């Protein structure tokens, strides 16, 4: 079954080279019970590790059946270890968070045979632990733990059992129990190879190989009479080839996703504080992303609402004092606008959709025993569409009411609350500077822009405002709606030329006696500012998430270090590099996902609190939730990948020896 030819293995310990194997050759037939003896450092454990496919020789050949296993890939070696070899270690190497039965099932998981878990129950029963199978290792004695290890080595029914000092940590009674089990397995046809330094243990073997300084110095049966250096191979000739050909699924990755997932969840619950800290880092990062983006989105919508209140494609023409040599002249030198200017502007059909004159002043508004000082605007009929001021309740005044200077008014939400409260205002009479006005509508809510409350206003017909209330002869400003946003700049230039011609403004100082404000520029500036703010807030939150990801990487690296022996064990019983990689990666992604979900809940809650306490406009959008969740998963993959790779690349022997 086993044939080794001229095996060499050298270890580099610092500056010292240790020649563990020096030209070792031996044959072991199927069904033999072989003990390998020698002093510490003789190379006996190294030989067992090479024979058990846990390590590769530097040179030489090693055949299982007729297959030279030194030429197999790491993945194929893992499969052959899982199916052909069972290990019993001196340190037991049981996973502390699993029961005896779950420990025994592990090789089945890596073989893709979880459905055959009754085998584990059978083997646990046969080693005499039926009543202890659901106990954790720390609830078992040393002898019982070693019996669990034996059951684990047998669960895939391997033809070869390697036992490395299996009785080294046991009392006399437990030693006898373990040897009895091994002898019984040998009688059933199992090939047993045991490494020991105890003569009384070796005496139970039918063949004893003694090593010294990396070489075999004797190979005899237990009576010391028969030489075994030329034993004839027996057993299946194509043992390894049969395993590789029949276990294609296992070679591709025997474990299923649910197995990986269960292993990851078990590892997380076994190290709750470590997992909690990892989740906490992602949780804070995701919550910050959600809250920051919610603030940014709320600010954006608030600004968009304010922009909508300005009107679309809007130009505002305002008079301004002229200057002479950079010195502002007296008010009488400003350009004065009249209704005639509005009529001329409206005739620019190619550019202008509509125009509305406006005058503004402050006035005291009284209703019953309540009064309020507010802004009163006299405007034209087209102002409703120009400035998005179509009333939510009631109506706007008509052209006829403007011509006849009717005393009708539309009030803003703030004025409504201050003087009328919950009373229906439509049809009510209010006094504006001691003059009676009939309320015909309520203006839409526009909110606050800086210190100015846009809802603290009253609109009345411009003719009424100029000639009955304010005593003005000239218009304060003209609002012009351009037909198309693309024509705004051209319309501004045309209007400027028109006013210069209309008012015969000749000198440069006179041409500066009016101003045209382009609301599109204001919109662009505000929009750009909002986008910049959102990006800034998102970037700050992303940094928080990045820090959480780095935390996951650090903790996963610590986890790899802490679980080095576990990784070595998993590889010894058949886990390949991919199995280890995927398991650790799922663990990292799972923590990120949990942290992401908790972060979404926390971030959404924080957004609500911000709205309630700070009175900010905050909105959690589905896109921000999806972005934060996906980003957290990406963080889990990216920052979990390196630790997972580090774990998957560990050498099984070095991992098992890790202190």
Between 150-159, 324-333, 448-457, 509-518, the lowest mean confidence (pLDDT) is in: 324-333
Please, is 97 exposed, middle or buried when counting C-beta atoms within 10 Å of its C-beta (0-12, 13-18, 19+)? middle
pLDDT given at position 518: 79
**Residues 539-551, mean pLDDT to the nearest whole number:** 74
pLDDT given at position 222: 66
Contact call for residues 510 and 321 (beta carbons, < 8 A)? no
pLDDT given at position 331: 42
311 pLDDT tier (thresholds 50, 70, 90): low
Nearest to 653 by CA among 575, 564, 579, 568: 568
Residue 457 has pLDDT above 80, yes or no: yes
pLDDT given at position 251: 41
Residue 401 has pLDDT above 50, yes or no: yes
Whether residue 186 is found in the same domain as residue 114: yes
Whether residue 22 is found in the same domain as residue 122: yes
Contacts of 81 (CB under 8 A, 6+ apart): 52, 53, 54, 571, 572, 573, 574
The strand pairing partners of 431, in sequence order, are 366, 436
Total tally of structural domains belonging to the chain: 3
Kindly report the number of other CB atoms within 10 A of residue 17's CB atom: 10
CA max distance for the chain: 135
- Is the model more confident about 306 or about 374? 374
Strands 429-432, 408-411: parallel, antiparallel or unpaired by DSSP?
A: unpaired
Residue 253 has pLDDT above 50, yes or no: no
**Residue with token string 């004797």:** 218
Q: What is the pLDDT of residues 406-419, one digit of tens each?
A: 999 999 999 999 99
Does 586 reside within a domain? yes
Question: What predicted TM-score, i.e. pTM, was given to this entire model?
Answer: 0.61
**Residues 300-312, mean pLDDT to the nearest whole number:** 64
Whether residue 242 is found in the same domain as residue 387: no
DSSP assignment letter at 227: B
Residue 200 has pLDDT above 70, yes or no: yes
Residue 321 has pLDDT above 60, yes or no: no
- Is the model more confident about 467 or about 540? 467
Whether residue 111 is found in the same domain as residue 32: yes
Q: What is the CATH number of the domain that holds 212?
A: 3.40.50.300
Give residue 151's domain range. Answer: 2-251
DSSP of 433-499: TTEEEEEEEEPPP--EETTEETTSEEEEEHHHIIIIIS--SSBSEEEEEES-GGGHHHHHHHHHHHH
Whether residue 10 is found in the same domain as residue 132: yes
Cα–Cα distance for residue pair 49/191, rounded to 1 Å: 16
Whether residue 217 is found in the same domain as residue 82: yes
Whether residue 529 is found in the same domain as residue 500: no
- Is the model more confident about 229 or about 63? 63
pLDDT given at position 521: 65
Does 350 reside within a domain? yes
DSSP assignment letter at 507: S
The strand pairing partners of 209, in sequence order, are 36, 219
Kindly report the number of other CB atoms within 10 A of residue 579's CB atom: 23
Q: What Cα–Cα distance (Å) separates residue 146 from each residue in 54, 168, 185, 379, 592?
A: 20, 11, 15, 95, 37
The alpha-helical segments, DSSP class H, found in 21-169 are 44-51, 74-84, 100-110, 118-126, 142-154
pLDDT given at position 235: 47
622-648 and 272-310 are packed helices; what angle lies between their axes, rounded to 10 degrees?
A: 150
Nearest to 141 by CA among 200, 88, 92: 92
Whether residue 247 is found in the same domain as residue 271: no
The strand pairing partners of 226, in sequence order, are none
Residue 250 has pLDDT above 60, yes or no: no
DSSP of 292-326: HHHHHHHHHHHHHHHHHHH-SSEEEEEE---EETT
243 pLDDT tier (thresholds 50, 70, 90): low
Kindly report the number of other CB atoms within 10 A of residue 483's CB atom: 16
Please, is 527 exposed, middle or buried when counting C-beta atoms within 10 Å of its C-beta (0-12, 13-18, 19+)? middle
Does 494 reside within a domain? yes
Residue 327 has pLDDT above 50, yes or no: no
Classify 645 as helix, strand or coil: helix
Contact call for residues 1 and 235 (beta carbons, < 8 A)? yes
Q: What is the pLDDT of residues 600-643, one digit of tens each?
A: 888 888 888 877 776 666 777 777 778 777 877 787 788 778 88
Does 520 reside within a domain? no
Whether residue 471 is found in the same domain as residue 373: yes
Residue 112 has pLDDT above 80, yes or no: no
Whether residue 287 is found in the same domain as residue 372: no
The phi and psi torsions of 215 (rounded to 5 degrees) equal -130, 150
Of 454, 470, 504, at which residue does a domain stop? 504
Residues 491, 495, 335: CA angle, nearest 5 degrees = 150
556, two tokens: 């996963």
- Is the model more confident about 435 or about 593? 435
When mean pLDDT is compared over 49-63, 71-85, 241-255, 423-437, the highest value belongs to 423-437
Length of the chain: 659
pLDDT given at position 414: 92
Cα–Cα distance for residue pair 67/49, rounded to 1 Å: 18
Whether residue 108 is found in the same domain as residue 233: yes
Residue 481 has pLDDT above 50, yes or no: yes
Q: What is the pLDDT of residues 22-47, one digit of tens each?
A: 989 998 888 889 999 988 888 888 88
Does 362 reside within a domain? yes
pLDDT given at position 234: 43
**Residues 57-79, mean pLDDT to the nearest whole number:** 85
Residue 393 has pLDDT above 50, yes or no: yes
Residue 186: HSE in the Cβ half-sphere, 13 Å Cα cutoff: 20
Of 216, 251, 286, at which residue does a domain stop? 251
Whether residue 76 is found in the same domain as residue 208: yes
Cα–Cα distance for residue pair 146/155, rounded to 1 Å: 14
Residue 323 has pLDDT above 70, yes or no: no
**Sheet strands (E) in 101-232:** 160-164, 191-195, 207-212, 215-221
When mean pLDDT is compared over 9-23, 198-212, 365-379, the highest value belongs to 365-379
Contact call for residues 628 and 286 (beta carbons, < 8 A)? yes
The strand pairing partners of 211, in sequence order, are 38, 216
pLDDT given at position 313: 77
- Is the model more confident about 654 or about 107? 107
Of 222, 251, 280, at which residue does a domain stop? 251
- Is the model more confident about 330 or about 85? 85
The phi and psi torsions of 217 (rounded to 5 degrees) equal -100, -15
């Amino acid at each position: 079954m086993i044939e080794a030819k001229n095996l060499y293995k050298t270890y580099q310990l610092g500056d010292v080279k240790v020649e563990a194997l020096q030209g070792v050759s031996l044959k072991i037939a199927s069904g033999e019970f072989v003990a390998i003896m020698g002093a510490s450092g003789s190379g006996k454990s190294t030989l067992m590790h090479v024979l058990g496919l846990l390590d590769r020789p530097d040179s030489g050949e090693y055949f299982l059946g007729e297959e030279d296993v030194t030429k197999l890939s790491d993945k194929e070696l893992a499969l052959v270890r899982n199916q052909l070899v069972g290990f019993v270690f001196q340190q037991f190497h049981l996973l502390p968070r699993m029961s005896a039965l779950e420990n025994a099932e592990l090789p089945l998981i890596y073989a893709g045979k979880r459905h055959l878990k009754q085998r584990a129950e059978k083997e646990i029963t046969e080693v005499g632990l039926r009543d202890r199978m659901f106990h954790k290792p720390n609830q078992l004695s040393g002898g019982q733990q070693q019996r669990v290890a034996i059951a684990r080595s047998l669960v895939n029914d391997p033809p070869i059992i390697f036992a490395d000092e299996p009785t080294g940590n046991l009392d006399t009674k437990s030693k006898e129990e373990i040897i009895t089990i091994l002898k019984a397995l040998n009688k059933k046809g199992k090939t047993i190879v045991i490494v020991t330094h105890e003569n009384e243990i070796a005496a139970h073997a039918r063949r004893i190989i003694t090593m010294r300084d990396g070489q075999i110095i004797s190979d005899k049966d237990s009576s010391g009479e028969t030489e075994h250096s030329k034993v004839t191979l027996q057993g299946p000739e194509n043992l390894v080839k049969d395993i590789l050909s029949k276990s294609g699924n296992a070679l591709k990755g025997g474990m299923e996703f649910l197995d990986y997932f269960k292993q990851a969840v078990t590892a997380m619950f076994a190290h709750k504080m470590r997992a909690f800290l990892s989740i906490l880092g992602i949780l804070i990062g995701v919550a910050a992303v959600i809250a920051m983006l919610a603030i940014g989105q709320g600010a954006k919508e608030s600004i968009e609402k304010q922009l909508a209140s300005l009107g679309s494609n809007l130009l505002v023409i305002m008079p301004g004092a002229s200057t002479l040599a950079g010195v502002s002249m007296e008010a009488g030198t400003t350009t004065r606008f009249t209704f005639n200017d509005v009529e001329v502007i409206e005739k620019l059909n190619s550019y202008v959709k509509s125009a509305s004159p406006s005058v503004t002043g402050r006035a005291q508004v009284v209703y019953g025993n309540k009064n309020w000082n507010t802004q009163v605007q006299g405007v034209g009929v087209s102002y409703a569409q120009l400035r998005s001021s179509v009333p939510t309740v009631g109506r706007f005044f008509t052209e006829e009411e403007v011509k006849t200077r009717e005393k009708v008014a539309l009030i803003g939400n703030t004025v409504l609350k201050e003087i009328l409260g919950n009373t229906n205002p439509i049809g009510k009479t209010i006094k504006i500077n001691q003059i009676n006005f009939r309320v015909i509508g309520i203006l839409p809510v526009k909110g606050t822009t800086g210190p100015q409350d846009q809802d603290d206003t009253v609109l009345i017909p411009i003719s009424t405002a100029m000639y009955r209330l304010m005593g003005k002869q000239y218009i304060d400003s003209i609002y012009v709606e351009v037909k198309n946003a693309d024509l705004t700049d051209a319309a501004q230039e045309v209007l400027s030329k028109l006013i210069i011609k209309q008012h015969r403004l000749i000198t440069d100082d006179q041409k500066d006696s009016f101003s045209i404000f382009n609301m599109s520029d204001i919109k662009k500036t505000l929009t750009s500012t909002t986008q910049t703010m959102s990006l800034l807030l998102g970037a700050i939150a992303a940094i928080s998430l990045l820090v959480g990801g780095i935390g996951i990487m650090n903790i996963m690296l610590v986890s790899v270090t802490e679980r080095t022996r576990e990784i070595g064990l998993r590889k010894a019983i058949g886990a390949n590099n991919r199995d280890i990689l995927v398991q650790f990666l799922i663990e990292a992604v799972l923590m990120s996902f949990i942290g992401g979900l908790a972060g979404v809940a926390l971030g959404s809650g924080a957004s609500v609190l911000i709205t309630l306490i700070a009175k900010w406009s905050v909105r959690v959008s589905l896109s921000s939730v999806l972005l934060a969740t996906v980003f957290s998963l990406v963080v889990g993959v990216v920052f979990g990948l390196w630790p997972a790779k580090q774990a998957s690349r560990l050498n099984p022997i070095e991992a098992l020896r890790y202190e």
